[in-house]
Structure 1
Amino acid sequence: MDRPHYKFWPARLPKSITVPATSLWHNLATSAARYPDKPALVFFGSVITYREFMAQAERLAGTLYALGVRRGDRVVLDMQNCPQLVIAHFAILRANAVVVPVNPMNRAEELKHYITDPDAKVAITTGDLAPELAKASDALPPAQRLAHVIVTQFTDTFDPAVEGDEAPAPAWRDWLLTQYPSAKLEGGQVMSWKEAVNADHEAPPHVVGANDMALLPYTSGTTGLPKGCIHNHSSLNHNAFASQLWGLGSSEGVMLAVVPMFHITGTVSLMHTTIVFGGTMVIMPRWDRDVAGRLISRWKVTSWTNIPTMVIDLLASPNFANYDLSSLVYIGGGGAAMPQAIAQRLLDSYGLKYQEGYGLTETAAPSHANPFENPKQQCLGIPYMGTDSRVVDPDTLKEMPIGESGEIITHGPEVFQGYWKRPEATAAAFVDFEGKRFFRTGDMGRMDEDGYFFMTDRLKRMINASGFKVWPAEVELLMFKHPAIQEACVISTKDDYRGESVKAVIVLRATHKDTTEQEIIDWCRENMAVYKIPRKVQFVDALPKSGSGKVMWRLLQEAESAVKA
């Protein structure tokens, strides 16, 4: 196959790399040995060095082993960004176990699946989220419940009296400073973070390697409940080491850690990549433009992985002139297209080329990226190191000519092993092409004459709200539990800030015709993650259906798009 993008391949980079035979834990152990006193994690002015980071992870791994966690067991990790998330993530790996990262916006009804599907018996969470996790566990049959939950307070890793440029946003103070009461777990035990980290339990011998499972992140789809993506240490290690090279990473690098580290991009492109080269993570628990501006200035941040809405928001801050972005060497991200005007402003005003990329949970974050030296705007980039991507006809699987749209398929060392407990879904997700196993992304794209890829459409029915992927089928399944809802169809509606938002078209039961739009939205807020909540609700007498009885969601989507045009 002709690889036109090799003409634009950075001369400083190999076209493929050798994947380490070691585990991800080995990366932390190596960086801690090299840079024991270097800041690894910074959180509201409090610094945890690599020596302290590794020691806490070792001790927590010993506690996990004492609680019965064994090789290959899955452990739920349910947190917003904070040092404890990073420490717990590596402690689980140190204990030879598997991290199950969970979006902290999920509510009890959603959380049940993340306990039962991976057969998890142990979870680690923060005090604000512990009651919801316990509620989910308590509602399950006894044999499926969690046996242990380790709970941390945010102030376990920072001084609540911190002031000035390092202080939390005023709106966060109650959330972060509250000492949440201990949750109660039906048939199980709750342990505090301090107990768990300070217990005198020895960690087991570390025996896992490249071909052992390390991470089980969940992704949704066009039907049914979210599916776990099996990632071994090897696929994550590939992209962590490749990202270091691609993104000019060095031990002097300082990363603004604001993209969620429960998400595959935050997990791999940020957390694991930074640990590989011994950099420093300046951690934000959620987005605030002025906190970000102050931290970039104060800590001389060199690399900022983000979603485009964050950049747009920061540039619009009335305080923006007070911030110093001169330390930034790398700025980039994905999840949504960066508006061309914003990308041009970054280039013209700061000399920064916004590096867009593309990847999925199934590809351990990037499968494509724009080369630092030759990026194109509003472009997915070129296939990553060791990666072969094609554009094919989704029906015939024949390769499409340059410039024509088709389904993007990908083969490479970063591609996942398959879906957890879903052999049929795994079989459907892969195709043999030219003697190799390619993953079907379900995204429609085209390749230009230079070998750069561009998104054109989606095969999958998905809503992209500020970079968060919302799968209508999952939202519909949850909404059907509302007593007033007879039928529901979820579609996207245009949103000037988020790009897209969720809209629900609903048929009410005859017994609940007095139900209001606000009542539906309020119920959704109690039962699903905030980014999935419908921003709009439309009541109809009937949903359009095909001859076979399937809801014709495209008709509703086209009608909504026509109204917004």
Structure 2
Amino acid sequence: MPVHTDNIYAAFERMARSCPSHSAVIYLGSRFSYSEVRVAAERLAGALIALGVRPGEKVVIYLPNSVHWIVSWLGILRAGGVCVPVSPIYLPHDLAHIVDNSGASMIVCADTNFGYVQRVMSESLVENVVVARMADMLPGYKRTFGWFFNMIPRGRVAWDGKTYHFRKLLHNGITSQLPELPIDPLKTAEMLYTGGTTQSSKGVPISHRHFLVSAREQIRTSRPLIPSRENIVLCHSPLFHILGQTCGLAILLVGGTLLIQPSVNLDATFDAIARFKVRALIAVPSFYRMMLEHERLDQYNLTSVDYWFSAGDVLPLELNRRWESRFGKIIHQGYGCTETCGGVAMCPVDRPFPANSVGHVVSSKKVKIVDPIFLDPVKAGEPGELLVHSENMPTAYVDNAKQTREAFIDLDGLTWYRTSDVMRMDNHGNLFFVDRTTDTINHDGHQVSASEIEAVLQEHPAVVATCVVGVEDKTVGERIKACVVLKSDIKGITGYELIKWCRKRLLPHKVPQYIEFRDMLPKSKLGKLLRREVREEERQRAEA
């Protein structure tokens, strides 16, 4: 059945009425039918409208992967609002930036994050907060068991006139007075924030049509292996991330089942695959490596999975060979960006392709491979920077003119997104990742800004200069290393002290794993840091 291409909620509602008793979501061992999820989303939509949410109003989703996340996403869309999903591990300053940049007036958060939300509210336009406890939608016996044995994290919440309980809103929400669903395929459905290349994350507006077209292409890829309604997808990517969106949430638009877990636990993952007969797994390469190296892997039956999919980082050829040797099936790759709403290239499942290819360009996208300086097309088969265009793609970041000018360019009468990734394409249309042109570090599936870490280190009173690079690592892609020059009169500073400094100011995945003290750093005649030379030194060390 084709995906409705005009409105995300309309596409979901169509499935919910077509197969109401079919499982839509599996969360912590409990199944939620399409009908149950639809009713909960519409009740939340009614409650949000009663609280003042109007069409086009931005609402932040500050929750971990959960059925609450999905109901919030659908409920906001049903109310005509714009979803602003953010990482549940964001610190107050990250959250404040996104709230300010997006103009959000409401936050849906977990009780464990409420303290951070409180700190942001006093300096923002946020008027109301909806607080969810992670067991709110579970059966009563599970909630009681979890609380009695202290298995469910709980945070303190100050219930006042601006703070509302998620569960009570679901109970009291009125669906009979919901307005007609506004259908405008070009309207913004959500704003996804990507924080890989700069100190401040950038808001990417995603329209209903853009999301639905990308979702349809993702679903089509695995359909030769698994009929959509029979598919049970275990999504290990966060739902606020484009990978979790187009590979996970998309299955709800075609009648499949989405299995989600609030945190990473390999034994829980293995058990869920075996118990619920998962057909597809979505994860980053480092997760697949962790699976292979888990000491209890052989104790579980994972043979139900037909489609192993990896994105978010380059899949090492050695890892895929080990995987095929162990399971008799390969991991399929894909390549995409937040700005392109996910898939730019996908590996086919019904025909052979080169083992290190990220696939063929999907039908909704056009690509150019160009010289990164002069933007002239390179010869066939030669590497160059990948540019991407699609009819539905955004052409600007939210309220960020400077980075919009750097990332989006006009060529041949079309607007193209500069991926900053060096790629090449063979004569058969297979796309290959070569390198990246930006100073980002790909650590465990996260795009980490080197300049952000450098800025934090240089705030330390003992540091005069620093250069942060990625060091190749088989487990997490790249580990973060900081080369540091101390002030000449400083003695006794240790690497541990600088790492501790970073831990207080950066998200966990951005904290350096290595600190190297140097007398000087390589610079150009104009005084610009030559990061490529430091990166080359690390490459030579690794080879040696």
Superimposed CA distance per residue, residues 365-388 of structure 1 (whole angstroms, 9 cap, x where no aligned partner): 111011112333221111012222
Amino acid across the alignment from 1:321: D
Say whether the 8 Å CA contact 1:70–1:96 is kept in structure 2.
Answer: yes
Query: Quick one: distance in 1 between partners of 2:71 and 2:25?
Result: 9
User: Given residue 536 of structure 2, which amino acid in structure 1 is its aligned partner?
Assistant: E
CA distance in structure 2 between the partners assigned to 1:18 and 1:153 by the alignment: 35
State the distance in 2 between where 1:282 and 1:498 align: 24
**Whole-angstrom distance in 2 between the partners of 1:419 and 1:396:** 23
Alignment-mate amino acid for residue 362 of structure 2: Y
Match of residue 304, structure 1, among 263, 281, 286:
281
What is the one-letter code of the residue matched to 1:280?
T
Residue type at the aligned position of 2:137: T
2:195 aligned partner, one-letter code? S
- Which residue of the other structure, out of 416, 419, 424, is the alignment partner of 1:441? 419
Q: Matched residues in 1 for 2:294 and 2:140: separation?
A: 26
Alignment match, 1:194: 167
The one-letter amino acid paired with 1:294 is: D
* One-letter code aligned to 1:302: R
> TM-score of the superposition, structure 2-length normalised?
0.91
**Aligned residue type for 1:344:** R
Q: Does 1:182 align with 2:162?
A: no
Following the alignment from structure 2 to structure 1, what is the Cα–Cα distance between the partners of residues 455 and 57? 28
Pairs within 5 Å for 1:343-422? 343-373=320-350, 374-413=352-391, 415-422=393-400
Could you say if the C-alpha distance between residues 435 and 493 of structure 1 is closer, same or farther in structure 2, counting changes exceeding 3 Å? same
Encode CA deviations 1:283-327: one digit per residue, 9 max, x unaligned. Answer: 111222221111111101111111122222222223222322222
Contact 1:504 1:537 in 2 (8 A): yes
CA distance in 1, matches of 2:474, 2:304: 31
Q: What is the CA-CA distance between 1:489 and the residue it aligns to?
A: 2.9
Tell me the equivalent position of 2:71.
87
Aligned residue in 2 for 1:225: 200
Q: Residues of 2 paired with 1:360 and 1:512: CA distance?
A: 43
1:147 aligns to what? Answer: 127
CA distances 1:332-378 after superposition (whole Å, capped 9, x unpaired) = 12122223233234434544232101001111111101111233322
| Letter aligned with residue 250 of structure 1 | S
Aligned residue number for residue 137 of structure 2: 157
Single out whichever of 216-225 and 451-460 deviates more from structure 2: 216-225
Find out whether 1:64 has 2:48 as its counterpart.
yes
Distance 2:119 2:461 in 1: 20
Identity of aligned residues (%): 28
Question: Of 197, 218, 242, which residue of structure 1 is paired with 2:217?
Answer: 242
Partner of 1:77, secondary structure, is strand
Q: Which amino acid aligns with 1:261?
A: L
Cα distance in 1 for residues equivalent to 2:111 and 2:462: 33
Q: Is 1:470 matched with 2:448?
A: yes
Residue 521 of structure 1 aligns with which residue? 499
Q: Work out the CA distance in 1 between the residues paired with 2:183 and 2:487.
A: 53
Separation in 2 of the partners of 1:221 and 1:303?
27
Quick one: structure 1 residues 333 and 423, their matched pair in 2 at CA, closer, same or farther if it must change by over 3 Å? same
CA separation of 1:488 and 1:118: change in aligned 2, threshold 3 A: farther
Tell me the equivalent position of 1:33: 17
Distance in 2 of aligned mates of 1:94 and 1:498? 38
> How far apart are the structure 1 equivalents of 2:125 and 2:99?
7
Aligned counterpart in structure 2 of residue 425 of structure 1, from 403, 423, 434: 403
1:48 maps to which of 32, 35, 38: 32
How far has the Cα of 1:184 moved from its partner?
7.4
Alignment-derived partner of residue 516 in structure 2:
538
Query: Does the aligned pair in 2 maintain the 1:501–1:535 contact within 8 Å?
Result: yes
Match of 1:103 in 2: 87
The Cα shift of 1:408 comes to 0.9
1:559 aligns with 2:537: yes
Amino acid in structure 2 at the alignment position of 1:495 = D
Q: 1:274 deviation in Å? A: 0.7
1:85-104: CA deviation from partner (whole Å, max 9, x where unpaired): 11111111112111111112
Q: Which has the higher contact order (CA 8 A, sep 6+)?
A: 1
Superposed CA deviations along residues 125-156 of structure 1, whole A, max 9, x for unmatched, are 11222222323444x3xxx2422221111111
Q: Which residue of 2 aligns with 1:493?
A: 471
Give the TM-score, by structure 1 length.
Answer: 0.87
Which residue identity lines up with residue 213 of structure 1 in the other structure?
T
Q: Please give the alpha-carbon distance, in whole angstroms, between the structure 2 residues aligned to 1:483 and 1:193.
A: 45
Which runs of no fewer than 5 residues in structure 2 stay unpaired?
none
Is the CA contact (8 Å cut-off) linking 1:231 and 1:417 kept in structure 2?
no
Cα distance, 1:505 vs structure 2: 2.9
Equivalent residues of 2:111, 2:155 under 8 A apart: yes
After TM superposition, give the deviation of residue 441 of structure 1 in Å: 1.2
Paired letter, 2:132:
T
C-alpha distance in structure 1 between counterparts of 2:403 and 2:260, whole Å:
36
Residue 135 of structure 2 aligns to a residue whose secondary structure is helix
Residue 526 to residue 132, structure 1, CA distance change in 2 (3 Å):
farther
Name the SS for the 1:390 alignment partner. Answer: strand
Amino acid at match of 1:154: M
> Which position in structure 2 is the counterpart of 1:14?
none
Task: State the alpha-carbon separation in 1 of the partners of residues 195 and 276 from structure 2.
Answer: 37
1:533 Cα shift? Answer: 1.0
Q: CA deviation at 1:239?
A: 0.8
- Structure 1 equivalent of residue 300 of structure 2: 323
Name the residue aligned to 2:232.
Answer: 254
Q: Shift in Å at residue 485 of structure 1?
A: 4.5
Return the letter of the residue paired with 1:158: L
CA distance in 1, matches of 2:42, 2:330: 39
1:203-230 C-alpha deviation (Å, 9 max, x unpaired): 4432142100012111235444211111
Deviations 1:460-498 (A, max 9, x none): 111011211111123334445555545443221233411
**Distance in 1 separating the partners of 2:474 and 2:440:** 18
**1:412 Cα deviation from its structure 2 partner:** 2.1
CA RMSD, 1 decimal:
2.7
Q: Among 162, 170, 190, which residue is 1:215 paired with?
A: 190
Q: Which amino acid aligns with 2:251?
A: T
For the residue of structure 2 that corresponds to 1:282, the secondary structure is: strand
Partner Cα distance (1:295, 1:445) in 2? 37
Provide the rounded CA distance (Å) in 2 between the counterparts of 1:50 and 1:479.
Answer: 49
Deviations 1:19-53 (A, max 9, x none): 85521011111111011111111112212111111
> Distance between the aligned counterparts of 2:360 and 2:383, measured in 1?
16
Tell me the distance in 2 between the aligned counterparts of 1:127 and 1:522: 27
- Label 1:63 to 1:539 Cα distance change in 2 as closer, same or farther (>3 A): farther
In structure 1, C-alpha distance between the alignment counterparts of 2:27 and 2:451, rounded to whole Å = 37
Residues 518 and 148 of structure 1, relative CA distance in 2, 3 Å threshold: farther
State how far apart, in whole Å, the 1-side matches of 2:23 and 2:63 are.
22
CA distance in 2 between partners of 1:46 and 1:203 (Å): 28
Q: State the distance in 2 between where 1:538 and 1:145 align.
A: 43
Go from structure 1 to structure 2 and tell me whether the alpha carbon gap of 1:130 and 1:516 turns closer, same or farther (over 3 Å shift).
farther
The 3-state SS of whatever aligns with 1:117 is: helix
Residues 150, 523 of structure 1: alpha-carbon distance in 2 compared, 3 angstrom cutoff: farther
